[in-house]
Chain A
């Protein structure tokens, strides 16, 4: 393509406008206006609010570290409006500010706050909301006549970039605020945000970029990721609200530890002790860890106390949005006694009226626990109590670790993602749909982001090839069609069909195999996973959203039901619910075990669990912080090999796979792998020679990546990781809603793509990304390496108990099992039976 030619038409990516900064006197007088507006409402601003106003008006960008309910919205809405006042910009048309909110539930509240401030400060501005729920007529209206403040999501921002007149639409933009940045940053939506901002900065000079984040371990780094290299560091600020409410934690103790379960995560045995808490409080949120657990607790609460009927509700991510909105509203207006919820209520509207928070089962992380604790309504400086309900005995140790972690403020960091090729190719096609792009113009913008700071020329070329030729050298008759390169070097999507297909796919950053649950007479209830739906037939009954439902018919995309009086036996389960113990808590958990070993019992949780750890010590051993416990025993199931790194299940999945792979070098063998947050089990039909393997370097970190990559390729894990990537990169096409059948010719599973790439195109960046993500995020390579290094310096406690120990038992009963095998398929088949009808 011709470069450096003097162009006679203006580039599509030309900068649109500039602004002159406010003088110090102007800033002071605007601040005074803000304060007097607050005074008319009967408040004076918090110091962090005023500091943010000033920094904003001085032209700075930054991060506001403030929890929900602290007035964080006003810390940024006000200066946006004050600046407009300062520029005399009170009634002209055009978009001025974008407010990104990762969750739709928040948007209404932000809009309300913005409206209030606009009229209070005497501007004639409009506020608009644009999300997946916004009607197409509303969207069209917003395009013709943009609101001054637009509240939207990262996905919707990209959809706006995919329209041809976006340079004009964003032309008068002054500010972007990213709310709940800590929540977005660790995900691909965070990467979308980085890319979206990189483009907006290219379109508009002097853009204010602000993030709002709850407290995380790496706030400064979080600021750098959002603000990128394009803003000089002396123009970046971090403003802390310091209104974090300290939380006292009270564990609801099982009455008799001897009768309390060793494993499981439901915690139903604690029901009768939780009930008095619900009764004695005006309003309560009970946080559970999975949607299935949420359904079960809701049901059991009603079973045990039918007077709660009509007074309690349920809230989780698979329940229809409208029903959830109703629940949120009802909490807000104090109509409900209690809500059983999942992480779907972690963020969102300010539930000021809620008095009591109950956490059922370990929250697995300090940050999550504090976030949930902060959901109850108390004024700054006032202590509140959050109740912790253990679901099995060893969670008492987690409770103790959690308390220590809060004391030490050991809050987890959120790690931003890097090198997400799927998001990048999606973004490039988005730009190609939205009027086209020139590589030499967008490349510097992309390289200025944290995610793609190390983008090499070769990787960049691969991405461009991928969207233009499908990543292959052009075959003679290849008809690959997506992005075309015009004579002047502009990359564009010319076919309307491709553009439409791309827009449809953009929303699907989370792959969905979910099916809609609907009343046969109409009315949505929510979604269940396809896997659950396939187990049902008409006439079957199940609990969902607190209702007892009977299946009427099952279509390709819908589960049609009616209400029933029958008592159902099934409750749907959803995948991906279980969180892994964070590294902050893992360290403390090992310290607590050490304390128990030394007989040093400092709090009531450890005192309570002591009989159980004594039994563990009697049957096997308790490891001190410089010991590594391995247990081995044989029973009718086979040979059980258990190891206890106490590092959380994701790290254990990696180590277990690695160890299985390294042990399989000695003989062809099949392992089934189970794990929990404390350790993992390798179960085999033949004995493994562990002593030799340890002598040969079983726990060495040399060749870690090579070994684990090989291990992954022989397991299902790689395929799972690839699924999302294929969806984002536009490799799999879900079909247009309601028109699935027509596009059957184009349907294919991501699994098939994975196999095809592994065989024919192992150098494909998307395929490699799947492996990198797996290593980095799922198996947490860094933690894995640290763990192995730790084990190498530990004394090995090799125990051979005659049966399962308290540590082993919960792992052994886990139903979710992985598999690792190096035996020939034929040998394995010879040992197996056909699974006949009904699994």
Chain B
């Protein structure tokens, strides 16, 4: 594959969103490309969930995970980012063999740095991350003017964390980007209604849609002034 013309066609599918003078490209497949940091952001992959369910006698088809991994592979090939930053709930189980499928992907993209802010479902031992050189950052993970976390951070929690930082950021308070919620919004037509997964950006914090195929959504109720971008399948569209 030619190494040039990086991302241009892929970026056309995205809508750019500026936060603290940095550009975040919102992709229709529930991933954000952070241009200045050459980083792809995703949240809530929930890998391993199918096998976890099957182990407990609930018959989920195992190939659910394949779609999530294929989608991720496609994005990594298209954007060729320097780093993949995952905002929690990467693996929805204690160790099971589906982890090795993900490990294969990690090794195939050896030039990409993999980083994880663990979420409430991430129960793997640190050994598993070390084995495949996946960096682990406890939340909140500060970088530039941003605080990355799995759980959306309450204002005072974030403020408390900022106070304990060694170097105070000049951008304080940081803008929080998080997962966990699997956000969706309800759209209302004259008589038509539609519930779609979305990116959400409030004044101080933003949410990423869930990336995994075997995940549900939670309907959030945005306030006036918030920005919401819905995923229609092939497109991202701003609705508020």
B-binding residues in A (CB < 8 A): 466, 470-472, 475, 477-482, 497-498, 501-502, 637-638, 670, 672, 683, 685, 730-733, 745-746, 748-749, 751-753, 756-757, 760-761, 817, 819, 821, 824-826, 828-839
Query: Please, how many angstroms separate the alpha-carbon atoms of A828 and B192 in the complex?
Result: 8
B61 & A834 in contact (Cβ 8 Å cutoff): no
Counting chain B CB atoms within 10 Å of each CB, the highest count among A479, A482, A685, A732 belongs to: A479
B54 & A828 in contact (Cβ 8 Å cutoff): no
B185 & A835 in contact (Cβ 8 Å cutoff): yes
Contacts of B215 in A (CB 8 A): 752
Query: Please, how many angstroms separate the alpha-carbon atoms of A819 and B191 in the complex?
Result: 9
Contacts of B214 in A (CB 8 A): 748, 752, 756
Tell which of B187, B191, B234 touches A833, judged by Cβ atoms closer than 8 Å: B187
Tell which of A482, A683, A832 touches B188, judged by Cβ atoms closer than 8 Å: A832
A819 & B52 in contact (Cβ 8 Å cutoff): no
B56 & A746 in contact (Cβ 8 Å cutoff): yes
Tell which of A730, A748, A753, A839 touches B186, judged by Cβ atoms closer than 8 Å: A839
Q: Report the minimum CB–CB distance from A758 to chain B (whole Å).
A: 11
A833 & B59 in contact (Cβ 8 Å cutoff): no
From known contacts A829-B187, A834-B185, infer whether A466 and B59 are also in contact, taking CB-CB under 8 Å: yes
Contacts of B188 in A (CB 8 A): 832-835
Kindly state whether residue B222 has any CB partner on chain A within 8 Å.
yes
Kindly state whether residue B196 has any CB partner on chain A within 8 Å.
yes
A498's closest neighbor in chain B, by CB? Answer: B57
Contacts of A497 in B (CB 8 A): 56
Query: Please, how many angstroms separate the alpha-carbon atoms of A804 and B193 in the complex?
Result: 24
Decide if the interface of chain B is mainly helix, strand, loop or mixed.
loop
User: Residues 71-106 of chain B: 1 if any A CB is under 8 Å from the residue's CB, otherwise 0?
Assistant: 000000000000000000000110011000000000
Contacts of A472 in B (CB 8 A): 59, 61-62
In B225-240, which residues have CB < 8 Å from any A CB? 228, 230, 232-235, 237, 239-240
Kindly state whether residue B127 has any CB partner on chain A within 8 Å.
no
B188's closest neighbor in chain A, by CB? Answer: A835
Q: Report the minimum CB–CB distance from B79 to chain A (whole Å).
A: 23
Kindly state whether residue B112 has any CB partner on chain A within 8 Å.
no
Known: A477-B97, A834-B228. 16 other contacts (CB 8 A): A478-B51, A501-B56, A638-B190, A746-B52, A746-B53, A749-B216, A819-B192, A825-B233, A826-B232, A828-B192, A829-B230, A829-B237, A833-B188, A833-B189, A835-B188, A836-B240
User: Residues 37-63 of chain B: 1 if any A CB is under 8 Å from the residue's CB, otherwise 0?
Assistant: 000000000000101111111111111
Contacts of B58 in A (CB 8 A): 730-733, 746, 748
Query: Please, how many angstroms separate the alpha-carbon atoms of A501 and B56 in the complex?
Result: 9
A478 & B62 in contact (Cβ 8 Å cutoff): yes
Query: Please, how many angstroms separate the alpha-carbon atoms of A834 and B54 in the complex?
Result: 38
A837 & B56 in contact (Cβ 8 Å cutoff): no
Tell which of B64, B213, B222 touches A834, judged by Cβ atoms closer than 8 Å: B222
A817 & B191 in contact (Cβ 8 Å cutoff): yes
Query: Please, how many angstroms separate the alpha-carbon atoms of A470 and B51 in the complex?
Result: 11
Q: Report the minimum CB–CB distance from B215 to chain A (whole Å).
A: 8
Kindly state whether residue B166 has any CB partner on chain A within 8 Å.
no
In B97-141, which residues have CB < 8 Å from any A CB? 97, 121
Contacts of B9 in A (CB 8 A): none
Contacts of B57 in A (CB 8 A): 480-482, 498, 501-502, 730
Tell which of A471, A751, A832, A834 touches B192, judged by Cβ atoms closer than 8 Å: A832
Q: Report the minimum CB–CB distance from B32 to chain A (whole Å).
A: 20
Kindly state whether residue B164 has any CB partner on chain A within 8 Å.
no
Q: Report the minimum CB–CB distance from B147 to chain A (whole Å).
A: 25
B191 & A745 in contact (Cβ 8 Å cutoff): no
Query: Please, how many angstroms separate the alpha-carbon atoms of A170 and B228 in the complex?
Result: 62
Query: Please, how many angstroms separate the alpha-carbon atoms of A749 and B96 in the complex?
Result: 22
From known contacts A757-B61, A839-B186, infer whether A470 and B237 are also in contact, taking CB-CB under 8 Å: no
B220's closest neighbor in chain A, by CB? Answer: A837
